Amino acid sequence: MKEEKTIRYEDISKKSEPPIVYVIQEIPGTKEGRPRINIMGAADYGKFKFLLTELSQIIFSPGPIIFKLRKELAKYRTKDYLLLTGDPAIIGVACALVSDITNGKFNLLKWDKQERKYYSIEIDLYQKDVP
């Protein structure tokens, strides 16, 4: 007798969606076609999604940038990554928004200058199992 296997749609749909690497800001020089740094190594972790242009800044009115980031990061999942590029104030806001979405659990990609590659860092702001 042949054993029947069942496949749930939820299992297929979750596995088929690869992680997304959310690049907070375009790399300086992108508009001229000569980005100053090469981030292609981060593509090993997922498909790129650029959130803001290279010239975006928070100066006097953070509202519009926060609104745009909230919209762009709304579908962030715990298997996705943040690539921290650009204005430090915007990086801080993006991390705070993702933390709200995921209850403090998210992934960052960090560049290692010596090894010349990206490493994944898992953040868990509310870890209860560490003394």
The structural domains of the chain, with segments of one domain joined by +, span 18-124
Residue 1 has pLDDT above 60, yes or no: no
Confidence at residue 64, expressed as pLDDT on a 0 to 100 scale: 93
The dotted CATH code for 18-124 is 3.40.50
Supply the pTM of this predicted model. 0.82
Least confident span in 27-31, 92-96, 111-115, 118-122:
27-31
Residue 17 has pLDDT above 90, yes or no: no
Confidence at residue 10, expressed as pLDDT on a 0 to 100 scale: 58
More confident residue, 55 or 46: 46
DSSP string, 41-56: GGGGGSEEEEEE-TT-
1-24 as b/e, with b when 16 or more CB fall inside 10 Å? Answer: eeeeeeeeeeeeeeeeeeebbbbb
